[in-house]
Amino acid sequence: MSAAANPEKAAGMARFFKCGPGQYGEGDRFLGLPNPAVRGVVRSCRDAMPEEAFKLLQSPWHEIRLCGLLLLVRCYSGGDESVREAVYRGYLAHTERINNWDLTDLSAPGIVGEHLLNRSRARLYRLAAGSLLWEQRIAMVSTLTFIRHGDFADTLKLAELFLPHRHDLMHKATGWMLREVGKRDRAALTEFLNRHKSAMPRTALRYAIEHYDDAARKEFLSFP
């Protein structure tokens, strides 16, 4: 991966992922590799063990950490119960290394969401209540797994908890998950929006209502 680095693309990626001083990805470093190239490495390392994947999370390079996370998703999917438990626990022990929105979004549903699908969801609320932005986003996007199984309760509860959140990345994640609920149960989303639209950050609301028709979107956005 290092040998395939593209400095020109790396500079553009650093701007896209907001890695400048004071931005949410401050200090992160990129090789300049597109996601398909990273996924190609993952496919070539299909026999990698979790402990090898966790080593990659220590890399200063964003794409190498992404590679490690995608390997962990693969390990979780194909592992027995002891492997899955180790991947889940190790993942949550390394949240400071899962430090941008693509890293959370491409890994949390396949690890945290899958692990908690038929278990207590209490850990999600501890993540949501913490001070680390990435743990909060992990909590929210992990519910995509539940949504895909027709379970919307925790998505709606977390969305309500995050209504006063001040970061745009959480507004987008919340609106995205609400939109996914609405694709499967329009009535549930409409009821949520009617109760909370005046308190929702505008970005979250716009994301949530993307699949409504023009008239409905205008109605949701027309409150004072």
In this structure, the answer to whether residues 77 and 120 fall within a common structural domain is: no
Q: Residues 82, 119: one domain?
A: no
Considering the domain architecture, whether residues 115 and 56 belong to the same structural domain is answered as: no
Residue 193: phi and psi, rounded to 5, are -65, -40
Where a domain ends, among 50, 69, 97? 97
Same domain, 86 and 117: no
Do residues 134 and 87 share a domain? no
Provide the residue-wise pLDDT of the chain in tens; the chain has 224 residues: 999 999 999 999 999 999 999 999 999 999 999 999 999 999 999 889 999 999 999 999 999 999 999 999 999 999 999 999 999 999 999 999 999 999 999 999 999 999 999 999 999 999 999 999 999 999 999 999 999 999 999 999 999 999 999 999 999 999 999 999 999 999 999 999 999 999 999 999 999 999 999 999 999 998 76
CA-based nearest residue to 137, from 189, 164, 111, 100: 100
Give the number of domains in the chain: 2
- Plot region of 141 (φ>0 → left; ψ -120 to 50 → alpha; else → beta): alpha
User: Nearest-CA neighbor of 104 among 137, 63, 70, 73?
Assistant: 137
- Angstrom distance (rounded) from CA 170 to CA 52: 31
Domain of 62 in residue numbering reads as 1-97
pTM to 2 decimal places: 0.96
Q: What is the pLDDT of residue 181?
A: 98
Verify that 129 and 118 share a domain, yes or no. yes
DSSP β-bridge partners for residue 29:
61
In a shared domain, residues 55 and 78 = yes
Residues 113 and 218 in one domain: yes
pLDDT value, residue 223: 73
Q: Which of 67, 97, 127 is the last residue of a domain?
A: 97
Query: Tell me, what's the pLDDT at 46?
Result: 82
Residue 145 and residue 42 share a domain: no
